[in-house]
Structures are given as C-alpha cells and as structure tokens.
C-alpha cells in the first residue's frame, strides 16, 4: 500500500507571483517545532520548590513569545526547543538561568527623604526607573532612624523555578518578499 501524499509531506512552500516579483510563503503543519524565530503560545504554571504557585495563565490568555528574541528567561527558553503543539513538559530552571543569584551589592541603604513615607515599612515594594530608563523594583528590608534599606534583587533571584508548560500554538515567520535579480521590478519613484 502506498503512503498518502500528505503523509510524505513535511512542509509546503508556495510561491505566489505578484507582478514580476515573488512572495514566498511557508505553510507549516502540526510537526512544526519550537525553534529560532517561531512565535510560540504557551500555557504555564510557575512554582517554587515548596510548591508555592508564583504565577499561572491556565484558563487565561496564553503567553506569546518569539523564540530566540530573549522574551523569556534563558533556562525556560532552552528547554522548549523541539516541542510541538500539544506537548507538555516540566522544566526546572536554576537561578543562573532564571533571575540570577542574589547579589548582596544590590542591597542598598538610602536616605529616608528619597523614599515616600508610605513605603517606610518592611516588605513594602517600590518601583522606579534606573539610570538607563529601565524599570526597577525594590523591596524594603529594614527601616532605620534616618535611612531605609532596600533590596534591588529580583524577587525570584536565587530561587530554582519549576514550570509546567503546554505548547498551544507555533507560528512561522511572517511572509517575506524575496528579491530575485532580473525578475523583481525596480522600485519606481513618484
């Protein structure tokens, strides 16, 4: 018995003529896997070693990221390579490939006048901008007579992270115009 045409085919490539130019469009099938440049939709639950749930999107909108664009932490991204739609995986991410180790140099003492009075309490969280305009977060760890001690480490720094993930969707890159010398018409100036 022969194999069906669909069973033999892994990927189709369509070339559509547009005037004298061509548009290359790829059409992937279910065997598309997570890899460089793919837009991936995930369902996930993030827990710590003690089973505390830190975050989940189960029953909510999926997490959508572009693989290889550093949209998610490196340790998770590496473990997703090769997964297919419908695959599930439990991933353990060490601090070095997550939010880093706790850096004692990121614990700083600042004058009270530089901190809003409503934040003068242990466990209070602050948000601000760093020197390069990036968002920074801090937690008050101690309040002294004239100063407040703040920890600028990410709240998950130093922690091993446990992800339960399910791949919901994998999309290929957008269609792109392919220039073919001698066949692609020159751009006209208005």
**The pair of three-digit structure tokens given for residue 109, joined into one six-digit string:** 């003492």
Domains of the chain by residue range: 35-102+155-171, 104-151
Q: pTM of the prediction?
A: 0.68
Residue whose pair of structure tokens reads 């590496």 in the numeric block:
78
The CA distance from 90 to 161, in Å, is: 10
Report DSSP state, residue 172: P
Q: What is the CATH number of domain 35-102+155-171?
A: 3.10.50.40
Residue-level pLDDT, tens digit, the chain, 190 residues: 444 444 444 444 444 444 444 444 444 444 589 999 999 999 999 999 999 999 999 999 999 999 999 999 999 999 999 999 999 999 999 999 999 999 999 999 999 999 999 999 999 999 888 788 888 889 999 999 999 999 999 999 999 999 999 999 999 865 444 444 444 444 544 4
The CATH class of the 104-151 domain is: mainly beta
**Who contacts 36 (Cβ-Cβ below 8 Å, separation ≥6)?**
67, 68
Q: How far is CA 21 from CA 24, 40, 173, in A?
A: 10, 30, 19
**In DSSP terms, which residues pair with 151 in a beta bridge?**
107, 139
Q: How far is CA 88 from CA 23, 64, 112, 160, in A?
A: 35, 16, 48, 20
């Amino acid at each position: 018995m022969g194999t069906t045409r669909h069973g033999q085919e892994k990927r189709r490539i369509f070339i559509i003529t547009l005037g004298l130019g061509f548009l290359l469009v790829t059409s992937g099938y279910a065997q598309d896997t997570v890899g460089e440049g793919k837009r991936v939709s995930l369902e996930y639950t993030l827990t710590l070693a003690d089973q505390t749930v830190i975050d989940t999107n189960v029953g909510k909108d999926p997490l959508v990221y572009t693989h290889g664009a550093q949209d998610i932490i490196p340790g998770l991204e590496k473990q997703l390579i090769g997964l297919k739609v419908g695959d599930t995986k439990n991933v353990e991410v060490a601090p070095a490939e997550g939010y880093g180790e706790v850096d004692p140099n990121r614990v700083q003492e600042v004058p009270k006048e530089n901190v809003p009075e409503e934040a003068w309490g242990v466990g209070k969280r602050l948000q601000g901008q760093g020197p390069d305009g990036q968002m920074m977060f801090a937690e008050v760890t101690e309040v002294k007579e004239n100063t407040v001690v703040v920890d600028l480490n990410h709240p998950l720094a130093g922690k091993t992270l446990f992800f339960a993930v399910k791949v919901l969707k994998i999309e290929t890159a957008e269609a792109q115009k392919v220039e073919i010398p001698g066949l692609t018409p020159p751009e006209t100036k208005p």
